[in-house]
Each structure stands twice: as structure tokens, then as C-alpha cells.
Structure 1
């Protein structure tokens, strides 16, 4: 019995359980396991689900927040309706989409967001260094949009891919929350690169000035510079530096 067989069997097991319990995708179990461990969503919470397709996380969010809760999801791909949730179509990094999401929370003096849950992932190119860098860039942009809307004491959960820049992202995000840690749900352990960043108890009064994305890029640039001065750069750090420079040139 090979390790690959065991991993595939476990993955299929989570998929079967998801189907049996009426969830859209195996990924629903990831949020359920995060919820069991950290209680990121509470009864009556207002929840923003970023990258909500195909709707499994929205289903779990509706369950956790209850009848008096509110769940709004956003994704580039349209989702089949989820009872109890409003699912929008759009690019969360686009200013027009962001304005639309804000309106959903601003109308009728609605409550601030209590939890942001994000299983978002960029379009995969197959080039790991590019995909991993773009993934962190995307997560940083979600932080920049969501944090001003997140209530004091709120939670933020997002998928990230391990690699260069993750430590810097955690460093930049930590002042905004009481607790920030990495967590791998059992339902995703077949993938060694996928991990979830769990951020608890939002402290907006402690937040440093400046965008998360800009501060993350600055921290990564400093790491690259320090490694150039004191030791040979690792290949992955070199690649991250090239990707950041290319991104800055394009902007």
C-alpha cells in the first residue's frame, strides 16, 4: 500500500462525506475543521466568503452563523444558489466589485463583517514560483480590502501556499490581530503546500498605517537585500525578487 494510495483514499473519503452530507465540495470539510478548532464564525455573525465557488464554504458559513446571520460570497465564477447566502460574481481585486460588496454591507445600516473566510486561489500557470508569489499577492489584496470592513474582534481565514514570502505576510498581518497562526485541516493534508492562515480577534486600533500589500512587498525586498549581503541567495528567494521587480515594472 503506497503513500500515494493512502492520500488518494483519504481525499476520496472527504469527498464522499461531503456528498453524503449535502456539501458542494470536499473543501467544505476544511472550513468545518477550522471552525471546530477555532470557532471563527459565531451565531448571528456577518460573513464575507471570498473565492466562494462552488459554494461549499458558503454552506458551512450559513450553518455556523444561523438564521440571524448573514453570508455574502464573491467569486469570478458564478455559483449555484446557496440558501441563506447572497453569492455575487466579480473580481474581488477590482474597484467596481469592491464597491458592490461594500454596498451589500452598508445598506440599511447593516452590521460590520465579523468573519472573512477565503479559499481563494489564482489561476494556476504550472510554474510554482510564479503561482506561489501571485497567490500571496492576491491574499494581501484581500486583506487590504477586507480589514477596513472587519469588526473589532473579528476573524480572518485564508488559504496560502507555503514558500518564500509567507513569513513576511504573517509578520505584516500580526499587529492587526491578537493571534495569527498556520493550520492544516485533515481534509487538506494530502497537499504539503496548502495551509490556512487563521487570524483571530481583529484589533483595528493596533493596526499600522499603510496597505498590507505594500508592507509585505517591502518586507520581502528587505529579506532579499539582506540575503544578498550576508549569504548567497537561495534560488527561490531570487525568483521571488525577479517576480516582484517584474510586477513593479508592469504597474
Structure 2
């Protein structure tokens, strides 16, 4: 009960701070703390905000890039406008939505990708976590070709089966990849952020992140193993032909 009270108090504290600071959600402080620790976003940068609803991360991104920067957000759920940002509605894994993002960027490459994306939760943890991981892999595969050399990427992950496999699939693309848990998100033990810095496009493997991730998970859970048939056994049984008269 004491631990439950402490966690509720933390959540209420971050909500109050968000409201007092003019942010739409307490999650804004997660990005602020990631920025304070790693300094991913710079003045004048172009930022892609994936899973931008309700707009808290877009608000922080606009503050960080300043008037010379460019912030584009995308989410399945419509988001109230954020001054200084372009917020689109659509599925980032859909080709039509991807085209809209490319049009908005106008050929401009991205300095930083920030993602707080999460799938619809069904309550079945194993399935939800698997879908979330696959979604993150898809976001990487779409956006990495748009990320500048030396660029950064941070995304939310849910701890569970396949996390290390996804990290291993991402590592070749960046010089540093590490997990980080902001103070503002410690009420959820399963939530962690992957912070990737210094994009190295010339080292990118030909195979997609999702393909490499799924192959690694298949090996992890034994999906690639071929079941052997029963071992042959010896027998003294023989067939004798009947002699003809």
C-alpha cells in the first residue's frame, strides 16, 4: 500500500508540473529529461515526432529547435495544433501516411527522431508487448533512411521478450545505443527508452531491422528449430513369404 501511494503521488506530481508549465501531458517531462541527459536536439534541427498525441513531446521539440527548426508529428489520433509544429493524422506504417510525411519534409533530412508510440493495449501482455516491438522496428525501418549522418533516435520500449534482440538489430546503425529510464516514467516498471546517437548510414545492413529482429526472436523462442522424427528402433520382426505347393 505504501509503494502504491508513493507511485500515485509521483504521477500526480508530474501531472501538476505539466499543467503548471503549460504542457499537455506529464510525458513532456520524459523528453525533457532525455534531452537534459543526452542533448539530442539542437537549435534549428528538424525533428520527427512519432506517436505525437496529445502533443506534449511536440511542444518540447518546438522549444528545443526554436523558430529556425522544423517539427513534424504523426499519430493515429488527431492532435490539437501545436504552434510551430505540423501535426499529421495517420498510421506511420501506411504508405499513404509515409508519403504525406515525406511531402511535409520536402526533401529535408531529419536530425532527430523521437517516438513515444504505443499500440492499442488489449490487456494480453505478451501479445501487446510483441506488437509494440514490431511497431518500433517498423518505425526504425521507415525513418532511418531519412535520418542524417550523426542524427539521433529515441523511442519507448516495453521490457519483455525480444528487447535485447531489437537492440542488437539497431546497434549497427549507431555508434552508441543505450537504455534510459527518465524519472518521469518510473511509475511504470516495464517502460524504458532506447537512446541511439550518431547515426552511421554507411554501416547499415541490407536486411531491414524488422527482418533481423524477427529472425532473432524466432531463434530465441525456438521457432527455427526443426523437430526431429522419432529415433529408429531395431526389431526382430520379419516377413516370410508363403511357399507355393
Secondary structure of the 1:197 match is strand
Q: Equivalent residue for 1:135?
A: 132
Q: Equivalent residue for 1:167?
A: 164
CA deviation profile, 1:143-173 (whole Å, cap 9, x unmatched): 0000000000000010010000000000000
Are the equivalent residues in 1 in contact too, given 2:51–2:75 (CA < 8 A)?
Answer: yes
Are the equivalent residues in 1 in contact too, given 2:47–2:72 (CA < 8 A)?
Answer: yes
Quick check: 1:176 aligned with 2:173? yes
Distance 1:201 1:14 in 2: 31
Give unpaired runs (5+ residues) of structure 1: 230-251
Equivalences for residues 114-125 of structure 1 within 5 A: 114-125=111-122
Q: Tell me which stretches of 4 or more aligned residues in structure 1 moved more than 3 Å.
A: 226-229
Q: Equivalent residue for 2:30?
A: 30
Secondary structure of the 1:58 match is helix
Q: Equivalent residue for 1:188?
A: 185
Give unpaired runs (5+ residues) of structure 2: 227-245
Residue of structure 2 aligned with 1:199, choices 192, 196, 199: 196
Quick check: 1:147 aligned with 2:144? yes
Equivalences for residues 8-47 of structure 1 within 5 A: 8-47=8-47
Scaled by the length of structure 2, the TM-score of the pair is 0.90
Say which one has the larger Rg: 2
Are the equivalent residues in 1 in contact too, given 2:218–2:224 (CA < 8 A)?
Answer: no
More helix by share: 1
Deviation at 1:224, TM superposition (A): 2.0
Distance 2:99 2:193 in 1: 27
Distance 2:81 2:135 in 1: 25
CA change 1:227–1:49 in 2 (3 A) is: same
Equivalences for residues 209-220 of structure 1 within 5 A: 209-220=206-217
Secondary structure of the 1:136 match is helix
Distance 2:170 2:137 in 1: 9
Scaled by the length of structure 1, the TM-score of the pair is 0.88
CA deviation profile, 1:206-245 (whole Å, cap 9, x unmatched): 111111111100111122239979xxxxxxxxxxxxxxxx
Q: Equivalent residue for 1:223?
A: 220
Distance 1:223 1:9 in 2: 39
Q: RMSD in angstroms over aligned alpha carbons?
A: 1.4
Secondary structure of the 2:212 match is helix
